[in-house]
């Protein structure tokens, strides 16, 4: 028997309906329609608020006819029927006009007092909302199927995401027909019956019936609860299985060796490790010694000292004769890491002489290197001469080979997912240990969902001697004079021997390029700060700012550097080096400085058009200052009026330096799609019913259940339906979701 889910709708519903579902909603199989859930349920007697209908949008509304007139058209042949409907809300009747051309049915059926569901695209005509030739269905039609008046009164009306061409009730009809055609009882239920019993959830066939044709509001509510939990369980089991499978793979054990590079490095460290660094260090040391791969996420505030922790882990592997790779999200960062690792290794960093006995060779590998440099690095990686290879995603390309890769460290990267890990894994016989580092604090359930197959460690404290960063919102609209004051303030820092970052949202003078190709903003939760359809003047750009600062009297005589993602690699490196060495006083840059850039002498950060950035991003950015024992200042400059919703974000950042608090605030303000990255790729959001924050509890429960299932039945042999649901979930289109792990 062909799987019920795979049956073609054209065989079950008839060609015409099936074609519409296919053309307008992309639904072709029984399973796809079954899983196309109503977006909400209307109650009988409930009318749609007409005043809130969005214009130029396909809508489904319930309304009562208050007036209907028909007349012969003067300019054209035929009759026009004008129907005025109202929502009768608050007594203040909001009305809308519906115009039908040559519809005798409408003229006959839509008499005053009739309640009907209408569907069409909202337009405006003479200042009033209108629908032209809307599709409609009379609401007492259900009486035809013999339901009693009371049953009818309780029966919710499912409202499906629909289009003007395929109204909600036609989807509802098709779904109802489908339910009658299928042998629902034979659908395998992904939820184990024990769990169904534990949470009192309906079985699959009942749940489908209740979600598509609920007899009462309780029915759809319980069905929804079931599907939410099912979704959470499928996802968490997928992650748990992945984690378990992973744990079985062989890896290269690198037990710590006394008297090696790591000990020498520790002996020369200019500071003592924080308690957290020591603890995490011990965890990593123990896991690296195992012959199954470590898979760990290291969270820690900007400046909490993650890099030292990672470097110590790398040295442990090198001490054992293995290699470590450090992956950075941008070339600038890769260059910085390369420099700072060599700096902190000091004499332990060996120059590239093959066969030299002591020290470790560190090489850099990026896409923009000259072919000579690149070849030298490639050779050092492949021969095993280089113990530590620092690079960008170029490290993942096929022609990069390692002699004995034992550890991969991924810095500040949310986009390093399954595919990338597999690419790296292909580079060595054994699975390398993996350490992912992020400075964006992640609430527990998000971590569980997005990084569900990684163990998590957190550095909670900052190293001692870190100076607090004072953050101020500078509103130019109410304080135009501040526009100049900022630069006088910058001058004070420069005169004191300090340095200044100036961050702009755009690169070119045109302002059309929002953000920076190399920046992480689409990948982090920072995101763009502009609301949908929010048209604004072009963002302040690096180009325009450099030109302006060159003319700024307060800054006369100071040197200004430029850094953004569109510079060639060597130019970027030079700009960064000049700033790091103090040769430039001010660095005008895009968010390319957002992560990891470390210039301790920088004390002031001016963020222009700060309202264009997200909370997490602003927090990351300001972490660039106050790193060298001098107090740091961050100015969030905005020309939005006070009270503008986007300014609330700036106030939030100014009010707290606790990344965790801010991340939570940030999340509350954003939609799920942004968190999980599904919408960015233009694909449908992968989570259908679950909301990572709202449904934290469901997710936690599902995770615990999933871990138990996998511990008990690692291959999911006894959970065939669940396994099938996971496979369906992990179809290529949905992988974007797990990729972020
Ligand atoms: P993160 O990557 O977590 O933002 P880094 O590893 O770049 O932080 O560390 C920030 C700065 O703090 C670096 O200059 C580093 O040398 C320094 N640092 C790290 N650990 C300590 C410590 N325990 N005590 C003092 N300074 C430290
Ligand atoms: Mg860092």
Averaged pLDDT of the chain: 82
Q: Tokens 């990729």 identify what position? A: 739
Cβ count near 655 (within 10 Å): 13
φ, ψ at 583 (rounded to 5°): -65, -35
pLDDT digits (tens, 9 = 90+) for 189-212: 999 999 999 999 999 999 999 999
CA of 323 to the centre of ligand 1 (A): 23
Tell me, what's the pLDDT at 444?
66
Q: Are 521 and 626 in contact (CB under 8 A)?
A: no
The ligand placed nearest to the CA atom of residue 302 is 1
Residue with tokens 């400085």: 593
For residue range 126-182, what is the model confidence (pLDDT) as tens digits? 778 888 888 888 876 554 455 566 666 678 889 888 777 888 888 999 999 999 999
* Ligand 1 atom closest to 301 (CA): 3
Q: Could you check whether 43-159 and 261-288+305-438 share the same CATH topology? A: no
List the one residue out of 319, 344, 263, 313 whose CA is nearest residue 437.
Answer: 313
501 Cα to the center of ligand 2, angstroms = 18
Distance 414 CA to ligand 2 centre (A): 14
Does residue 414 have a pLDDT over 60?
no
Using DSSP's 3-state secondary structure scheme, residue 111 falls into: coil
pLDDT(122) > 70: yes
The three-point CA angle 502-506-512 to 5° equals: 160
Q: String of b and e for 511-533 (b: at least 16 CB within 10 Å)?
A: bebbbbebbbbebbbbbbbeeee
Alpha carbon of 677 to ligand 2 centroid (Å):
23
More confident of the two residues 508 and 520:
508
Per the CB < 8 A criterion, the answer to whether 695 and 233 are in contact is no
Q: Which atom of ligand 1 is nearest to the CA of 273?
A: 23
Name the pTM for this structure: 0.65
What CA–CA distances, in Å, run from 543 to 495, 540, 611? 25, 9, 19
Q: What is the pLDDT of residue 688?
A: 62
Query: How many angstroms separate the alpha carbon of residue 389 from the centre of ligand 2?
Result: 16
Output the residue whose Cα is nearest ligand 1's atom 9.
305
* CB-CB contact of 596 with 412 (8 Å): yes
Residue 93's pLDDT band, with cuts at 50, 70 and 90, is: low
How would you classify the pairing of strands 58-72 and 499-503?
Answer: unpaired
Specify the CATH architecture of the domain 469-656. 3-Layer(aba) Sandwich (3.40)
pLDDT in tens, 662-716: 877 776 665 444 444 332 232 333 456 666 667 778 888 999 999 999 999 999 9
pLDDT-based confidence at residue 594 (cuts at 50, 70, 90): low
Considering the domain delimited by 261-288+305-438, tell me its CATH architecture.
3-Layer(aba) Sandwich (3.40)
Tokens standing for residue 428: 């060595």
Cβ atoms 350, 356 nearer than 8 A = yes
Model pLDDT, residue 619: 86
Query: What is the residue with the minimal CA distance to atom 26 of ligand 1?
Result: 463
Pocket test for ligand 1, best of 270, 274, 307, 580 (most atoms within 8 A of CB): 307
Q: Are 635 and 608 in contact (CB under 8 A)?
A: no
Instruction: Spell out which residues line ligand 1, taking CB within 6 angstroms.
Output: 271, 273-274, 277, 300, 302-308, 439, 463, 596, 598, 627
Nearest residue CA, atom 18 of ligand 1?
Answer: 305
Residue 123: pLDDT above 80? yes
pLDDT tens, 354-393?
A: 444 578 999 999 888 889 999 999 999 999 999 999 998 8
Q: 247 or 212, which is more confident?
A: 212
Cα of 466 to ligand 1 centre, how many Å? 9
Atom of ligand 1 nearest to the CA of 302: 4
Q: Which fold has domain 43-159?
A: OB fold (Dihydrolipoamide Acetyltransferase, E2P) (2.40.50)
CB atoms within 10 A of CB 312: 22
Give pLDDT tens digits for 298-307.
988 777 889 9
Cα dist. 620→356, 475, 548, 550, 741 in Å? Answer: 40, 21, 26, 27, 21
Can you give 552-610 as a three-state secondary structure string? CHHHCCCCEEEECCCCCHHHHHHHHHHHHHCCCCEEEECHHHCCCCCCCCEEEEEECCH
Residue 329, pLDDT score = 81
CA nearest neighbour of 2 among 22, 30, 28: 30
pLDDT at 71 over 80: yes
Count of Cβ atoms closer than 10 Å to residue 73 Cβ: 11
Average pLDDT for 5-13: 91
Domain boundaries, the chain: 1-39+166-186, 43-159, 261-288+305-438, 469-656
State residue 193's pLDDT score. 94
Query: Do the beta carbons of residue 703 and residue 448 sit within 8 Å?
Result: yes
| Ligand 1 center from residue 277 Cα (angstroms) | 10
**Ligand with an atom nearest the CA of residue 301:** 1
Beta bridge partners of 138: 116
Atom from ligand 1 closest to the CA of residue 306: 3
pLDDT level of residue 514 (50, 70, 90 thresholds): very low
Pocket test for ligand 1, best of 297, 463, 601, 659 (most atoms within 8 A of CB): 463
pLDDT digits (tens, 9 = 90+) for 331-352: 878 888 898 899 889 889 876 5
Q: Return the residue whose CA atom lies nearest to atom 24 of ligand 1.
A: 463
> Strand locations in 188-322, DSSP E?
295-300
Residue 61's pLDDT band (cuts 50, 70, 90): confident
Query: Are the beta carbons of 157 and 215 closer than 8 angstroms?
Result: no
Between the CA of 631 and the centroid of ligand 2 the distance, in Å, is: 19
Instruction: Tell me the average pLDDT across 522-544.
Output: 54
Give the other-Cβ count within 10 Å of 226's Cβ.
25
């Amino acid at each position: 028997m062909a799987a019920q889910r795979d049956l073609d709708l054209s065989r079950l519903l008839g060609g015409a309906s099936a074609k519409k579902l296919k053309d307008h909603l992309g639904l072709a199989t029984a399973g796809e329609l079954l899983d196309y859930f109503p977006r909400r349920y209307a109650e009988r007697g409930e009318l749609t608020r007409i005043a809130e209908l969005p214009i130029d949008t396909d809508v489904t509304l319930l309304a009562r006819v208050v007036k209907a007139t028909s007349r012969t058209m003067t300019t054209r042949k035929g009759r026009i029927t004008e129907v005025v409907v109202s929502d009768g809300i608050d007594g203040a009747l909001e009305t809308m006009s519906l115009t039908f051309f040559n519809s005798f049915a409408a003229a006959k059926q839509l008499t005053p007092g009739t309640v009907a569901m209408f569907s069409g695209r909202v337009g405006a005509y003479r200042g009033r909302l209108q629908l032209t030739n809307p599709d409609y269905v009379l609401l007492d039609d259900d009486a035809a199927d013999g339901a009693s008046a009371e049953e009818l009164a309780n029966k919710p009306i499912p409202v499906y995401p629909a289009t003007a061409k395929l109204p909600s009730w036609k989807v509802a009809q098709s779904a109802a027909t489908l339910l009658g055609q299928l042998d629902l009882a034979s659908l395998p239920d992904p939820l184990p019956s024990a769990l169904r019993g534990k949470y009192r959830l309906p079985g699959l066939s009942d749940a489908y019936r209740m979600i598509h044709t609920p007899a009462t509001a309780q029915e759809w509510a319980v069905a929804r609860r079931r599907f939410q939990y099912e979704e959470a369980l499928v996802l968490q089991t997928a992650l748990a299985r992945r984690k378990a499978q992973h744990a079985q793979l062989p890896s290269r054990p690198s037990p710590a060796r006394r008297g090696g590079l790591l000990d020498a490095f520790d002996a020369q460290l200019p500071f003592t490790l924080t308690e957290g660094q020591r603890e995490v260090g011990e965890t990593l040391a123990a896991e690296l010694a195992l012959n199954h791969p470590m898979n760990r996420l290291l969270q820690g505030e900007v400046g909490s000292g993650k890099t030292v922790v990672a470097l110590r882990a790398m040295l442990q592997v090198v001490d054992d004769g293995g290699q470590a790779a450090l992956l950075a999200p941008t070339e600038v960062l890769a260059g910085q890491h390369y420099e700072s690792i060599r700096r902190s290794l000091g004499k332990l960093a060996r120059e590239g002489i093959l066969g030299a006995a002591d020290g470790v060779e560190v090489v850099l590998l990026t896409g923009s290197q000259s072919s000579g440099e690149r070849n030298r690095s490639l050779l050092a990686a492949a021969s095993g001469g280089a113990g530590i290879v620092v690079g960008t995603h170029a490290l993942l390309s096929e022609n990069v080979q390692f002699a004995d890769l034992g550890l991969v460290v991924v810095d500040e990267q949310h986009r390093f997912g399954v595919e990338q890990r597999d690419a790296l894994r292909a580079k060595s016989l054994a699975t390398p240990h993996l350490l992912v580092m992020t400075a964006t604090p992640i609430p527990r359930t998000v971590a569980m969902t997005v990084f569900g197959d990684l163990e998590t460690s957190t550095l909670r404290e900052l190293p001692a001697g870190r100076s607090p960063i004072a953050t101020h919102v500078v509103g130019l609209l109410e304080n135009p004079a501040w526009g100049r004051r900022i630069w006088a303030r910058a001058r004070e820092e420069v005169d004191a021997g300090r340095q200044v970052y100036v961050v702009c949202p755009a690169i070119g003078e045109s302002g059309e390029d929002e953000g920076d190709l190399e920046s992480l903003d689409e990948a982090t939760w920072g995101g763009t700060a502009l609301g949908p359809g929010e048209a604004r003047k072009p963002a302040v750009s690096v180009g325009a700012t450099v030109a302006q600062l060159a003319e700024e009297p307060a800054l006369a005589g100071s040197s200004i550097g430029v850094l953004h993602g569109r510079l060639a690699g060597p130019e970027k490196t030079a700009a960064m080096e000049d700033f790091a060495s103090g040769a430039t006083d001010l660095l005008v840059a895009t968010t390319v400085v957002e992560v990891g850039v470390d210039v301790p002498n920088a004390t002031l950060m001016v963020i222009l058009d700060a309202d264009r950035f997200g909370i997490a991003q602003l927090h990351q950015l300001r972490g660039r200052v106050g790193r060298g024992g001098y107090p740091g200042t961050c100015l969030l400059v905005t020309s939005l009026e006070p009270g503008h919703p986007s300014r609330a974000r700036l106030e939030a950042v100014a009010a707290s330096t606790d990344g965790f608090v801010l991340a939570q605030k940030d999340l509350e303000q954003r939609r799920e799609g942004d968190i999980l990255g599904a919408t960015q790729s233009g694909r449908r959001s992968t989570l259908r019913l679950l909301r990572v924050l709202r449904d934290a509890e469901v997710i936690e429960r599902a995770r615990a259940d999933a871990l138990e299932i996998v511990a008990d039945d690692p291959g999911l042999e006894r959970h065939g339906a669940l396994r099938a649901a996971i496979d369906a979930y992990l179809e290529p289109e949905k992988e974007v979701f797990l990729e972020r792990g």
